[in-house]
Structure 1
Amino acid sequence: MMIQALPPDPPPVVVQAPASTAATGSVEVHTGDRSVATQEEVRVAAALTDAQVKVDSGFRGASIVLYGAVFNPTTTPADVVVVVRGPDAPVRLVKKTRNMGVWLNSRPVLFEGAPGFYMTASTRPLSDIADFGQLRRLGVGVDHLRIDAPQESRTVTRYGVRDVVVSRLGENYLDWRRAVIRLKEAAALYNTDPRGVQFVDKGLFRAEVELPTVAPTGKYYAEVWLFQDGAPVSVSNLTLTVEKVGLERDIYEFAHRRPWSYGVLCVILAACTGYAASRVFRSR
């Protein structure tokens, strides 16, 4: 019986400590550049449990967990603020006005740049984390949300309605803006949770992103801010995609690519359905 000798053990790997760490005695071994030194850097890192949400006929909303870690070598405490913004979409509003004892709809106003979805979650109320000016500059929070008002005064036709007013709105802008936010909150599309970010362990945190059934499709952008002493010190950017799948996606794309053909087809299907229903009821 032949016995095959095993190969000799590989020579030990000796890691030369950099001069900057030799004095402190702290040595970090890098393997294939898979780790990054964080001892001297305050930063935040985050990720999503699911970066793609598929919408079909059975979609009833989705709950996505955003998780991450805070690297804070200092003794100054830090706060985490999560901001998730969906694709912008136009918002058309009308106001009830009383004219000669009769309530009528005012001329519609079109906002051309309101987020279709917006949520904030934080470790504490935003007003306790940063001051008004800082939040306004970053656009963090519903009160500081940038909603594009009409840039000039003109009258156009939108949504099949004539004489749609597109203007700066003047002093009434804040009232109309509050109406936009109120309607979005009622539809669960805007949400603010001052305790939505929870630390589950030292430096590890989590937050939930709740997408309602009526959540718009498209690209969502998440910003995870790290604040210290009322100022942002780090930010992590994430992307979330909400898209239609299956038959719903095919119908959606057909309706937008060929609207005239889609309209004619809908009329034909409605006529055929009505005719078939009338024959069924006549036979009975």
Structure 2
Amino acid sequence: MIIALLASLLTQQAVPQEAPQIMAALTHETVEIREDFAGTELILYGATRGLTIQDEIVVVLRGPDQDLRVMQKQRSFGIWVNAQAQEFDAVPAYYSIASSRPIEEIASRDALVRNRIGLAQLLDESATQATMDLEPYFAAVERAGARNALYTAAPRGVEVLDGGLFRATLALPPRTPVGNYTAEVYLFREGRPIARRSTSMRVEKAGIERVVYEFAHGAPIIYGLFCVALAMLAGYAAAALFGRR
């Protein structure tokens, strides 16, 4: 796929004065998560036509969506209790931005909002109660994602090479969610995107991890009973072993 991308670039360079375009491909179309998975790095290679020295590149990798319920803690009579809840619909379980320069130097906040770039913008769109002060909830979601390296930003994560080529490095942490991922690549000029390209990949369980995952999601009740029985059996075996000693 990468060889085809480079060949396409060389062919297109012969056509003068055409609108800027961007092409991109990931080194992995499928990432398998096995029992020893400790995270991995993804490399996105790309090529541009009409790139100038002022242009910048932004890459956004977005994982599968999930619904979130965030509770705000309040102190009542000396006890911390859950209070006002905020629901978020279709929030990405993984969200990573890599750029050739810090994103705030590439485009204004308004430009990023218009093009739906940035986790805060996506959270604002997915909130179900727009009348509340959402900033504390945004911060809580971002902290939780950052804690597991699921929400990341690499201000210098895109390397622009000679001849209009570029390369972006993206990291998948050990707790990477399974599902479909989309990589959006933007070519910015003077603070606005002038070209865009998307590519996709999939993260899936493999080996014993896949068997357990499908069992747990396909028959959750039986899986729960099996786990309880296994825990009881382990407890009985431990009691018998130590009691014999």
Provide TM-score, normalisation by structure 2. 0.87
Counterpart of 1:244 (choices 194, 205, 220) is 205
Q: Counterparts of 1:123-162 in structure 2 under 5 Å?
A: 123-146=100-123, 148-151=125-128
What is the aligned partner in structure 2 of residue 258 from structure 1?
A: 219
- Structure 1 residues 38 and 136, CA, compared in 2 at 3 Å: closer, same or farther? farther
**For residue 45 of structure 1, what is the amino acid of its counterpart?**
M
What is the aligned partner in structure 2 of residue 61 from structure 1?
A: 39
- Structure 1 residues 170 and 71, CA, compared in 2 at 3 Å: closer, same or farther? same
What is the aligned partner in structure 2 of residue 82 from structure 1?
A: 59
Equivalents in 2 of 1:251, 1:143: separation in Å?
34
Q: CA deviation at 1:238?
A: 0.8
Q: Which runs of 5+ in 1 are unaligned?
A: 1-30, 152-167
Equivalents in 1 of 2:88, 2:96: separation in Å?
19
Q: CA deviation at 1:212?
A: 0.6
CA contact (8 A) 1:114 1:148 kept: no
2:91 corresponds to 1:114:
yes
CA contact (8 A) 2:88 2:123 kept: no
- Structure 1 residues 111 and 146, CA, compared in 2 at 3 Å: closer, same or farther? closer
What is the aligned partner in structure 2 of residue 184 from structure 1?
A: 145
SS at match of 1:171: coil
Q: CA deviation at 1:146?
A: 4.0
CA contact (8 A) 1:97 1:105 kept: yes
Q: Which runs of 5+ in 2 are unaligned?
A: 1-6
Q: CA deviation at 1:203?
A: 1.3
- Render the CA deviation track for 1:183-211: whole Å, top value 9, x for unaligned: 21222111112221111323111111101
- Render the CA deviation track for 1:128-151: whole Å, top value 9, x for unaligned: 222222210111123433455453
Q: CA deviation at 1:283?
A: 1.7
SS at match of 1:274: helix
2:131 corresponds to 1:170:
yes
What is the aligned partner in structure 1 of residue 72 from structure 2?
A: 95
Q: Which structure features the higher share of helix residues? A: 2
- Structure 1 residues 93 and 140, CA, compared in 2 at 3 Å: closer, same or farther? same
Q: CA deviation at 1:213?
A: 0.7
Over the matched positions of the two proteins, sequence identity in percent amounts to 39
**For residue 134 of structure 1, what is the amino acid of its counterpart?**
A
Q: Which has the higher contact order (CA 8 A, sep 6+)?
A: 2
Equivalents in 2 of 1:278, 1:229: separation in Å?
70
**For residue 118 of structure 2, what is the amino acid of its counterpart?**
G
Equivalents in 2 of 1:143, 1:275: separation in Å?
50
Equivalents in 2 of 1:54, 1:114: separation in Å?
23
Equivalents in 1 of 2:83, 2:236: separation in Å?
40
Equivalents in 1 of 2:164, 2:126: separation in Å?
40
- Structure 1 residues 89 and 206, CA, compared in 2 at 3 Å: closer, same or farther? same
Equivalents in 1 of 2:60, 2:74: separation in Å?
36
- Structure 1 residues 149 and 50, CA, compared in 2 at 3 Å: closer, same or farther? closer
CA contact (8 A) 1:135 1:141 kept: yes
Superposition CA RMSD, Å: 2.2
Q: CA deviation at 1:107?
A: 5.5
